[in-house]
């Protein structure tokens, strides 16, 4: 037989009837990629989306990816992650109360407080829904769960669920503290009222009407002591008419069923006997009738209400509404911007790399889409400026060295010319003046020319012939 070659083409050329020997190198790498169960997609590192049920896919750079497909589960147990597994405190309401059930955990690593809002069955397991739609509670026994706790993937972490759970825990914590504060205040108030009752009971034998007014805190009551008990009696309200006399009394003079009676102050109880007093316009007797104050002298006169004695302490606490809660939180705006950039970086990375590649290949780049200043920090800019300055200074030094050489050559030529001129000037001055001090000025051309001009003999005058001879 006879073997013949075939055509081969690569990046360096094309050949016919050749035999090619090559070495194929296969690189095997292991990596992780996020998967979306709802859309049956696997997202490769380059952003390519493939069907997760196939088990293989080819990337845009011809890299082949293979994975083991997870069998479908009707209960979807693989969609849940265990964030906490252990003992929790269950807060249940008392009888005849409609408060919800709350589960709390406070430890060094885990802290939350969630309220049960609803419940549903998941393949024989009873799960409780909470205020947060992504946080569920399974109340069960040890080793009776549908999934083993493992390390949660970073792609399944939700920073917003983390922050919202803290808000929920803070709300439950503040509510609990306010309930404790309210209970403590009510206990203190109960103890204070108990002391008031004890003080009022001590007045039973001396002033029963005073005791009844303090206990019931309303007029029209009286008390009758009978052995070891006190009977509180409520008087029947009746309509009276004010009567006028020429004598002043401490009580209010009224008429009821054509009978002259007296209305006791504060208690508003009718009696048959009154307490006379001196009439004094400076210290009159005053009564409040139908929310209007009257001065009871010989004739009732409407007057201004007297000043009311009030506690000296004034409330200083004022509720401050968290109006900025919707725009601020545990993070500043700068932190939120950095978090957004961190979250959006994988999404914006392919488009940014495409823009840079288009610019490098000479294609048109949309204005404002990329800025090279973001790639350089202050240190890099300082280093570039320092390098440019050093190179510029070296250029000046090279130019200065070359200029100095040229200037030196010119000076040498000028010096040679000066020597030659001085010799010539000295020879000329010597021919005119001989060996004298005039030879010292031979180095100056202008002075030498002046001395030669002055030392030149005057021209001889030639007599003119007589034209008429």
87 and 49 inside one domain: no
In the listed set 254, 285, 307, which residue is the last one of a domain according to the structure?
307
The reply to whether 442 falls in a domain is: no
Same domain flag for 125 and 171:
yes
Whether this model's pTM surpasses 0.85: no
In a domain, 84, yes or no: yes
246 and 269 both lie in a single domain? yes
Mean per-residue pLDDT over the chain, rounded: 78
Of 44, 66, 88, the domain-final residue: 66
> Is 233 a domain residue?
no
Query: Residue 137 domain-assigned?
Result: yes
Percent of the chain clearing pLDDT 70 (strictly above)? 81
Give the per-residue pLDDT at 324: 46
Domain with 245 in it: 238-307
Boundary residue ending a domain (286, 307, 328) = 307
Number of domains in the chain: 3
Tell me, yes or no, whether 113 lies in a domain: yes
Question: Is there a domain that residue 351 lies in?
Answer: no
Same domain, 99 and 62: no
Residues 152 and 114 in one domain: yes
pLDDT of residue 255: 92
pLDDT of residue 329: 47
Q: Is the pLDDT of residue 409 over 80?
A: yes
Q: Are residues 89 and 156 in the same domain?
A: yes
Identify which of 36-50, 190-204, 243-257 has the greatest average pLDDT.
Answer: 243-257
Q: Of all residues in the chain, what percent carry a pLDDT higher than 90?
A: 3
Weakest-pLDDT range from 143-152, 190-199, 402-411: 143-152
Same domain, 57 and 96: no
Q: Do residues 86 and 62 share a domain?
A: no
**Domain annotation covers residue 12:** no
**pLDDT, average across residues 40-46:** 80
What string of H, E and C letters represents the secondary structure of the chain?
A: CCCCCEEEEECCEEEEEECCCCCCCCCCCCCCCCEECCCCEEECCCCCEEECCCCEEECCCCCEEECCCCCCCCCCHHHCCCCCCCCCEEECCCCCCCCCCEEEEECCCCEEEEECCEEEEECCEEEEECCCCCCEEECCCCCCCCCCCCCCCHHHCCHHHHHHHHHHHHHHHHHHHHHHHHHHHHHHHHHHHHHHHHHHHCCCCCCHHHHHHHHHCCCCEEEEEECCEEEEEECCCCCCEECCCCCEECCEEEEECCEEEEECCCCCCEECCCCEECCCCCCCEEEEECCEEEEECCCEEECCCCCCCCCCCCCCCCCCCCHHHHCCCCCCHHHHHHHHHHHHHHHHHHHHHHHHHHHHCCCCCCCCCCCHHHHCCHHHHHHHHHHHHHHHHHHHHHHHHHHHHHHHHHHHHHHHHHHHHHHHHHHHHHHHHCCCHHHHHHHCHHHHHHHHHHHCCCCCCCCCCCCCC
Q: What is the pLDDT of residue 372?
A: 67
Are residues 119 and 177 located together in one domain of the fold? yes
Residues 56 and 101 in one domain: no
Among 20-29, 247-256, 312-321, which stretch is predicted with the lowest mean pLDDT?
312-321
Q: Is 54 inside a domain boundary?
A: yes
Residues 116, 161, single domain; the answer is: yes
Mean pLDDT of 82-95: 82
């Amino acid at each position: 037989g006879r073997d013949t070659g075939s055509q081969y083409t690569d990046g360096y050329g094309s050949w016919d009837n050749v035999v090619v020997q090559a070495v194929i190198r296969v690189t095997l790498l292991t990596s992780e990629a996020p998967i979306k169960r709802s859309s049956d997609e696997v997202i490769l590192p380059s952003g390519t989306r493939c069907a997760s049920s196939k088990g293989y896919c080819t990337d845009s750079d011809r890299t082949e990816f293979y994975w083991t497909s997870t069998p479908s589960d009707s209960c979807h147990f693989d969609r849940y992650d265990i964030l906490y597994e252990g003992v929790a405190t269950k807060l249940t309401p008392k009888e005849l109360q409609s408060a919800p059930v709350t589960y709390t955990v406070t430890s060094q690593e885990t802290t939350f407080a969630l309220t049960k809002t609803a419940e549903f069955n998941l393949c024989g397991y009873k799960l409780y829904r909470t205020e947060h739609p992504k946080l569920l509670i399974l109340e069960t026994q040890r080793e009776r769960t549908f999934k083993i706790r493992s390390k949660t993937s970073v792609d399944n972490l939700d920073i917003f669920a983390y922050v919202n759970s803290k808000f929920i825990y803070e709300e439950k914590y503040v509510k609990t503290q306010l309930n404790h504060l309210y209970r403590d205040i009510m206990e203190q108030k109960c103890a204070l009222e108990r002391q008031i009752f004890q003080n009022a009971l001590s007045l039973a034998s001396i002033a029963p009407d005073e005791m009844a007014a303090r206990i019931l805190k309303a007029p029209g009551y009286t008390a009758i002591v009978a052995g070891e008990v006190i009977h509180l009696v409520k008087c029947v309200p009746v309509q009276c008419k004010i009567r006028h006399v020429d004598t002043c009394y401490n009580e209010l003079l009224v008429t009821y069923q054509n009978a002259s009676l007296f209305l006791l102050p504060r208690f508003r109880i009718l009696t048959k006997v009154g307490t006379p007093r001196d009439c004094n316009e400076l210290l009159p007797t005053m009564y409040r009738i139908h929310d209007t104050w009257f001065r009871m002298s010989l004739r009732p006169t409407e007057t201004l209400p007297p000043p009311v004695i009030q506690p000296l302490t004034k409330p200083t606490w004022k509720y401050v509404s968290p109006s900025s809660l919707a725009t601020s939180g545990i993070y500043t705006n700068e932190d939120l911007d950095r978090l957004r950039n961190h979250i959006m970086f994988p999404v914006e990375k392919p488009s940014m790399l495409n823009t840079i590649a288009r610019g490098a290949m000479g294609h048109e780049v949309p204005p404002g889409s990329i800025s090279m200043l973001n790639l350089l920090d202050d240190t890099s800019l300082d280093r570039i400026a320092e390098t440019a300055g050093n190179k510029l200074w070296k250029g000046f030094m090279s130019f200065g060295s070359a200029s100095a050489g040229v200037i030196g050559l010119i000076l040498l030529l000028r010096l040679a010319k000066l020597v030659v001129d001085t010799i010539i000037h000295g020879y000329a001055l010597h021919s005119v003046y001989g060996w004298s001090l005039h030879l010292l000025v031979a180095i100056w051309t202008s002075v030498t020319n002046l001395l030669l001009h002055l030392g030149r003999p005057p021209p001889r005058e030639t007599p003119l012939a007589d034209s008429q001879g």
